Amino acid sequence: MLTDLKPQPADKILALMQAFREDPRENKIDLGVGVYKNAEGVTPVMRAVKAAEQRLVETQETKAYTGLAGDPAYAAAMRGLILSDSVDAGRVAAVATPGGTGAIRQGLELMQYADRAATIWLSAPTWPNHPSIVKYLGIPMREYRYLASDLPVVDFDGMMEDLKGVKAGDLVLLHGCCHNPTGANLTAEQWAVVADHLEATGAIPFIDIAYQGFGDGLEEDAYGVRLLAARMPEMIVAASCSKNFGVYRERTGLLMAIAPEQKSKAEAQATLNFLNRQNYSFPPDHGARVVQMILDDPELRADWQTELEDVRLGMLKLREQLARELRNRTNSDRFDFIAEHRGMFSRLGATPAQVEVLREKYGIYMIGDSRINIAGLNEATVPIVAQAIAVEIG
């Protein structure tokens, strides 16, 4: 059996990570991996996380399993953070998952379990794991335009033209904020148009919200998901705590399914529990318990929000600095969009060949589609990167 296995295509991001590690140059710069790093190149443990973990160590009396859905207090705390009072809690089924990726997978499993004929619509481009998991599960998939071909802005007309093809029961996957890989977000007015269209067609929104608090703020970044939750009879939400709580290795996620009423909510909850049982049985609890403790404790929550806001503002400052340096070096506004985008990512619009030149000649690593991680920069490296981009791309 094992001798008959076929080689799998290499993960491009993991391959890039390996190439960066093996590069002996001391001045190399990693803008590829989608992990937040501070100015020293470290993914820090947030103050509130350390404090909550200390309390947990001192007070936790058992390592017994949680329920199949995880700790209900965690689900309630996350529901409040993401949805606030936009929807009746009695309509929301939820399960803890191993990270946001686990939530995406369980959401797709739920879709498949309910209706194998339904199609899922993904933005072009999107996070590579979205189509990878969809194809692995054999779910029918279509794409809708998202980024304009000539400018790094949302092609909203093209998006809505493509979404005319959605049918009742189809799922439309939308990035809640800080679109990965482009950093280009929908406006409030555009979210409203999307909501109108989904209501009219009977399609179901599937929101991936992995960067709440990294864009315009905790409340602002939840605008789209709350608008849809308030208007749609059904919705799926996959959330990650990896970024905004910095608990990457704890694999802390949540899947929520919003049902039309409490009876169907109970059925959805039972199905989610069943799917968890078939996949990994009981979800991990450490990160979930830490997140719940932070969200439910006013002092810890205030400190977490302060540190998260520092992270957000730091990335905005780097965006503005990079856009300014590029404007000065290219004598054009070609790269001004970098300051307007939000979250960790933007795409430069470079060709794969130009990306390769930046890696080989300057030791600047980025994904082949020219997606850069803004958090991989600091004040000192921005001018270096800007000069290289100006010479090779601008």
Backbone Cα Rg of the chain: 21
**Cα torsion 175, 178, 183, 188: sign:** positive
Structure tokens at 245: 């709580």
Q: Measured between alpha carbons, how far is 166 from 205 in angstroms, rounded to an integer?
A: 11
- Is 243 designated active site? yes
- Is 12 designated active site? no
In the set 121, 170, 222, 243, the catalytic residue is 243
Q: Measured between alpha carbons, how far is 329 from 45 in angstroms, rounded to an integer?
A: 36
Q: Measured between alpha carbons, how far is 276 from 296 in angstroms, rounded to an integer?
A: 25
- Is 4 designated active site? no
Q: Which of 391, 387, 369 is nearest to 27 (CA)?
A: 387
Rounded to 5 degrees, what are φ and ψ at 389? -65, -40
In the set 30, 162, 208, 285, the catalytic residue is 208
Q: Measured between alpha carbons, how far is 368 from 272 in angstroms, rounded to an integer?
A: 36
Q: Measured between alpha carbons, how far is 323 from 105 in angstroms, rounded to an integer?
A: 36
- Is 127 designated active site? yes
Q: Measured between alpha carbons, how far is 296 from 313 in angstroms, rounded to an integer?
A: 25
Structure tokens at 224: 């789209």
Buried b (16+ CB within 10 A) or exposed e, 219-228: eebbbbbbbb
Which CA distances in Å does 321 have to 6, 81, 192, 356, 376? 46, 31, 32, 24, 14
Q: Which of 147, 149, 213, 219 is nearest to 186 (CA)?
A: 147
Which positions are catalytic? 127, 208, 210, 243
